[in-house]
Chains A and B, each alone.
Chain A
Amino acid sequence: GDSVTQMEGPVTLSEEAFLTINCTYTATGYPSLFWYVQYPGEGLQLLLKATKADDKGSNKGFEATYRKETTSFHLEKGSVQVSDSAVYFCALRNRGTALIFGKGTTLSVSS
């Protein structure tokens, strides 16, 4: 069945460092891909999404490009802030089925 694999955490960075969180997926057809973020004490929020190959989702300085050839959707940010500290989940949705999530990657940014 469909699945999502994302890099293990935690990821610890200094403020203004470059961030990459790797995400790969296995799915038939053409799923939509998502990154959700969970800030401490809060619910899951959609960060960005892409619905077809080569689409780039972007929000709050974060970007991810839907790469069908490598079945990847890596999350990147050029300069992280302390406020970006959170748990990040990669997810896919295929033909209207429910979201399938990766295990999550904890990001900790220090000043």
Chain B
Amino acid sequence: EAGVAQSPRYKIIEKRQSVAFWCNPISGHATLYWYQQILGQGPKLLIQFQNNGVVDDSQLPKDRFSAERLKGVDSTLKIQPAKLEDSAVYLCASSIGTGGMNTEAFFGQGTRLTVV
């Protein structure tokens, strides 16, 4: 079974530029998550989708971050404009569960973003 795919693996941009990350979850997984992992910290949820609807985006900095999940499959996360403090690894994860189920989440390799 293919895992969660993310691209690119690495990205270096200058501050105030824009960047986009792509995620393809495991086939059949209804729920998709984007996490931000700053060096030395645990992953922090940015946004959670169930199918193509947003379940939780309370920690997404909406003035600069946006995400979509068209057709309930692939997802993109965009930052515009980027700030130095956005340097982090952006992780995509998916899980099969919906509703109140506490099922396992599977993670992609992540995209390491460096803002200079």
Q: Do A and B come from one complex?
A: yes
Closest chain B CB from A2 CB (angstroms) = 11
Asked if A44 lies at the interface with its beta carbon under 8 angstroms from chain B, I say yes
Q: Size range of the interface on A? A: 20 to 34
Closest chain A CB from B75 CB (angstroms) = 14
User: In the docked arrangement, what's the CA distance between A46 and B107, Å?
Assistant: 9
User: In the docked arrangement, what's the CA distance between A101 and B91, Å?
Assistant: 13
Do the beta carbons of B104 and A46 come within 8 Å of each other?
yes
Question: 1/0 per position for B15-36, CB-CB distance to A under 8 A?
Answer: 0000000000000000001000
Do the beta carbons of B109 and A96 come within 8 Å of each other?
no
**A-B pairs with beta carbons under 8 A, tally:** 58
User: In the docked arrangement, what's the CA distance between A43 and B56, Å?
Assistant: 23
Asked if B87 lies at the interface with its beta carbon under 8 angstroms from chain A, I say no
Q: Name the residue of chain A whose CB is nearest to the CB of B47.
A: A98
Interface residues in chain A, defined as those with a beta carbon under 8 Å from any beta carbon in chain B: 4, 31-32, 34, 36, 42-46, 49, 51, 89, 91, 93-104
Q: List 25 A-B contacts (CB under 8 A).
A: A32-B102, A34-B104, A36-B107, A42-B109, A43-B107, A43-B109, A43-B110, A44-B93, A44-B107, A51-B102, A89-B43, A93-B102, A94-B102, A95-B100, A95-B102, A96-B97, A96-B98, A97-B56, A98-B33, A98-B45, A99-B43, A99-B45, A99-B93, A101-B43, A104-B40
